[in-house]
Amino acid sequence: MSDFSTPTAHDGRRLAKELLLDGQGLRELIIAGMTWLKTNQQLVNSLNVFPVPDGDTGTNMLLTMQAAYNEIANSGEKNVGKMAHAIAQGALMGARGNSGVILSQLFRGFARGMDTLDAMDAPVFVKALVEAKITAYKGVVRPVEGTILTVAKDMAAEAEKALAETQDLNLILERVVDAADRSVKHTPELLPILKQAGVVDSGGKGLFFILEGMQRFLKGQALDVAVTTVQPLAAMVMENTLEQVEEGQDFEVVVDFRPEQELNLEKFYSELSEIGTSIQVGEGDGMYRMHIHVPTEKRYVPIDYIMGLGTITKVAMENLLAQMDQIGKEHTPKLHFAPVEPGQIAVVAVSPGTGISRIFASLGVAAVVEGGQTMNPSTEEILHAFENLATDKVVILPDNKNIIMAAQSAATMTVKKVAVIPTKTVPQGLNAMLRLNPEGEFDQVVKEMTQALEDVDTGEITIATRTVEINGIDVHEGEVIAIFNGKVVLAAHSIEEACLRFLEKAKAEDHERITLFYGNNISKNEVNLIVDKVRSMYPNHEIELHEGGQPHYQFIIAIE
Amino acid sequence: MSEEANPLGNIYISHRAIATIASQSALESYGVVGLAAKDLAEGLAQVLEKHPRHGIDVRYDSEGIEIDLYIIVEYGTRIKSVASSVAENVRYYVERAIGLPVRQVNVHVRGLRISNTD
């Protein structure tokens, strides 16, 4: 019925001209689409504009595809309609994230267009694509254009146009893939936020890869090597690549050039990968930009290599180590987290500021999730932080009472053994960290870490954002307030007054050690003046000062 | 009424304003096909009504904003994914627009709409 009879790939079969595709043929196309999406998953993930969990669009779409595939993995179904319905069912059950849900609706419409036909020909394929679009659009009140929905719409429109000219499924698919490609590239024109971020829509790109995978399969092209990933020049975000500096690859080389003849991208990539890592290629108006990380001694090799291909217009070379130091001063330095061995207990801490992250890292946490009072990390972000760790025993320190719930729900979403220690403040988290024994027995370690919470008192100094009477204290907005273990205990006219009165209130004289973490909203001068005062008032205490870098709170104070 | 200070005076943001932002971002979320009356007595007949507080409940205290969404979901979508997407969407847009923390977004799926029969 079709020429897909064996499930082996890459041998360049074309669908017969008069062509019919049966259930098994569709199954193979789905596998091809899934494989190609997997190969390009990271690229799709990197097209991220919203700081929301759906930033993992590639992963979400892939998981949805895998759920669809699981439904049909061992199916011998010959009927293409029934196969399509099984795929839709699998996608629905496993839909992850926004893009996954939309993908599942596309499959659902696709299946409906197919009804229970034995085999698919060109008109049925086109009808199914149109149904897919219609079904997907029904799922939202106000469709946002410039997304995966737009790409599905453009695909359906092109399919209808193509059908008027040919009955060859190969040709129609080719035109649909081209239309998807153009549509994806056009998304920034429709959705300003994409344009600002200099990216194309990630869900649309994912859908494009699924279709392109099918086409590559039919053409017999490899599906497991991401070879020709050229992005628009504007989308090359160099700063991101800095976070992935590999050992020994100390130089970043960026070369702009105009090739003499059309660039053979596969060859270009494979030869570059002999030289270095983190290869990116961008293209715009016939102008190419190549980005690569290389070891110091090879820093001129890429330039010589490209010299042979065309005219070089610009070369930029940077010493990454020096650059990282520089960025570290302005932004977050690269943190060195404790390596995790299988079986060990790994700790994930939520940290509101760069300085605090550094302290957590030095105490041996395996990962840090950024977040705090105003920007609570999502369940997904927390989950993401520990899912790839090499161990299945994880402890989470939320360090803020608003984040405890997200951490607990992350704990239920994994097969790993996860304990959330309900740390409400950073000092509690740091104190719990001191009790970590990565080799210890899990329940025992969790118990000890939890007990550590009682050994520390926390003070937080901030400016009141509104006038309120709370706990019998009149707080006027603009006044400095001190929060003692989560409760507002006093209002003062200056930060210094708030600190000193807070220490008195917290009975600091009965304790031994005061640690102050200053925020990003107070000058170093002011900090020094205040700490000098504290030192003179508590001469017998051990007083430590650290840069916390947290927003909102001028000081976080730990008293032990 | 949320309040925040700026050097010249106070900024007051009404619940209604927050509800409008929440409502817009909810309706742009995939899988959400309408907002439902908060209590069923009001009836599902008012689905899609333009009133911005319809199907949205906003509370505010010193800890942040709490939002309850009462939504109608397209039948045949994975409700769990739709619900978490809409919660994230609403939180993101409200926080971005208002600049105050959204502590909680509770999503109540009040019904399903069947527009596609398979």
pLDDT tens over chain A, length 560 residues: 344 433 333 334 444 444 578 899 999 999 999 999 988 887 888 776 654 444 578 888 999 999 999 989 888 888 999 999 999 999 988 888 888 999 999 999 999 998 888 888 899 999 999 999 999 998 888 888 999 999 999 999 999 999 999 888 889 999 999 999 999 999 999 988 888 777 889 999 999 999 999 999 988 887 776 544 555 555 554 444 444 455 667 788 888 888 888 777 777 877 887 888 777 777 766 778 888 888 888 888 899 888 888 888 888 887 777 666 655 555 445 577 878 888 889 999 999 888 888 888 888 898 888 887 667 787 778 888 888 788 888 999 999 888 888 888 888 878 888 999 999 999 999 999 988 888 889 999 999 999 888 889 999 998 887 777 777 788 887 889 999 988 888 889 889 899 999 999 888 888 888 999 998 888 888 888 898 888 888 888 888 888 888 888 999 999 98
| Helix runs in A73-201, H state only | 80-94, 97-114, 122-138, 148-163, 169-190, 192-197
* Closest-CA residue of chain B to A103: B77
pLDDT value for B14: 87
Long-range contacts of A501-508 (CB under 8 A, 24+ apart): A502/A459, A502/A461, A502/A557, A503/A459, A503/A534, A503/A537, A503/A538, A503/A557, A503/A559, A506/A457, A506/A459, A506/A559, A508/A538, A508/A541, A508/A559
Domain A234-321 falls in which CATH fold? Alpha-Beta Plaits (3.30.70)
Query: The CATH number of A331-454 is which of 3.40.50.510, 3.40.50.800, 1.10.10.60, 3.40.50.720?
Result: 3.40.50.510
Q: How far apart are CA A38 and CA A61, in angstroms?
A: 9
Q: For A452-506, how does the pLDDT look when each residue is reduced to its tens digit (9 = 90+)?
A: 888 899 999 988 877 777 777 888 878 899 999 888 888 898 898 999 999 998 8
ipTM associated with this complex:
0.75
**Which of B77, B95, B118 minimises the CB distance to A139?**
B77
C-beta of residue A353 within 8 angstroms of C-beta of residue A373: no
- Cβ within 8 Å, pair B92-A51: yes
| pLDDT at site B118 | 56
Chain B positions touching A142 (Cβ under 8 A) are 27-28
Q: Can you give the pLDDT at residue A295?
A: 85
Per-residue pLDDT at A19: 59
One DSSP character per residue, B36-88 reads --SSGGG-GGGTT-S-TTTTEEEEEETTEEEEEEEEEEETTS-HHHHHHHHHH
SS3 content of chain B, % helix, strand, coil (to 5): 35, 35, 30
Tell if the CB–CB gap between A402 and B29 is shorter than 8 Å. no
* Contact call for B63 and A402, based on CB within 8 A: yes
Q: Does B97 touch chain A (CB under 8 A)?
A: no
Strand order in the sheet with A310-319: A230-232, A277-284, A287-294, A251-259, A310-319
- Domains of chain B: residue spans and CATH: 2-113 (3.30.70.1350)
Distance from CA of A306 to the nearest CA of B (A): 44
Selected from 1.10.540.10, 1.25.40.340, 3.40.1360.10, 2.40.10.350, the CATH number assigned to the domain covering A23-225 reads 1.25.40.340
Q: Answer whether A551 touches B (CB < 8 Å).
A: no
Distance from CA of A490 to the nearest CA of B (A): 15
How many angstroms separate the CA atoms of A103 and A60, rounded? 10
Least CB-CB distance to A138: which of B34, B74, B99?
Answer: B74
Q: Which two tokens stand for residue A321?
A: 């180590």
Nearest-neighbour CA in chain B from A158: distance (Å): 24
Rounded Cα–Cα distance for residues A101 and B73 (Å)? 12
Q: Where in chain A is the domain with CATH 3.30.1180?
A: 457-559
Numbered ranges of CATH 1.25.40.340 in chain A:
23-225
CA atoms of A11 and A16, how far apart (whole Å): 15
Subunit contact A140:B89, Cβ cutoff 8 A: no
Q: Residue type for A223, please?
A: L
CA distance A380 to A382: 5
- Residue B53: per-residue pLDDT: 65
Amino acid at A39: T
Residues of B in contact with A460 (CB under 8 A): none
Interface of A with B in 361-420 (CB under 8 A): 373-376, 378-379, 402
Mutate to test the interface with A, among B10, B30, B65, B114 (most CBs of A within 10 A): B30
Q: Write the single-letter amino acid at A114.
A: M
Q: Which helix (H) or strand (E) holds A281?
A: strand A277-284
In the prediction, which pLDDT does A230 show?
A: 59
Say how many CB pairs under 8 Å bridge A and B: 103
Q: Where in chain A is the domain with CATH 3.30.70.260?
A: 234-321
* Residues A209-243 pLDDT 10s: 999 999 999 888 877 765 445 555 555 544 444 44
> Which CATH number among 2.40.50, 3.40.50, 3.30.1180, 3.30.1380 corresponds to the domain A457-559?
3.30.1180
- What average pLDDT does chain A have? 83
A531: left (phi over 0), alpha (psi -120 to 50) or beta: alpha
Q: Do B4 and A466 touch (CB under 8 A)?
A: yes
- Out of A51, A140, A402, the one facing B30 most closely (by C-beta) is A140
If one compares A234 and B83, the residue with the highest pLDDT of the two is B83
